[in-house]
Amino acid sequence: MSRVCSVAGAPTSPSGKELEARTMEKYGNPLGPTADQQFAKYGSWAAVIEAATPSNAAVDQELGRERRN
């Protein structure tokens, strides 16, 4: 079983199907937004990477990094 299925529920389960339907409606792809969609939204690859790596307060504190929102 893939990580996506194990986290979101197997595609045959109601929760998995509901998740796929919501994602398909929002992005036009059951797996989520494409790289091109993300680039169009954020305007640069650096901004896409920044958006894909959200800050975590506990990790930031341990690493002595300033918290990002």
With beta carbons less than 8 A apart as the criterion, state whether 18 and 24 touch.
no
Residue with tokens 């893939």: 2
Closest CA to 51 of 37, 66, 31: 37
Give yes or no for residue 2 having a pLDDT over 80: no
Residue 66's pLDDT is what? 77
Residues 35 and 25: their CA atoms lie apart, in Å, by: 17
The model's pTM = 0.56
Q: Please report the pLDDT score of residue 39 as a whole number.
A: 97
The tens digit of pLDDT for each residue in 6-62 reads 555 555 666 888 889 999 999 999 999 999 999 999 999 999 998 888 778 888 888
The residue type of 59 is V
Band of residue 1 on the pLDDT scale cut at 50, 70, 90: very low
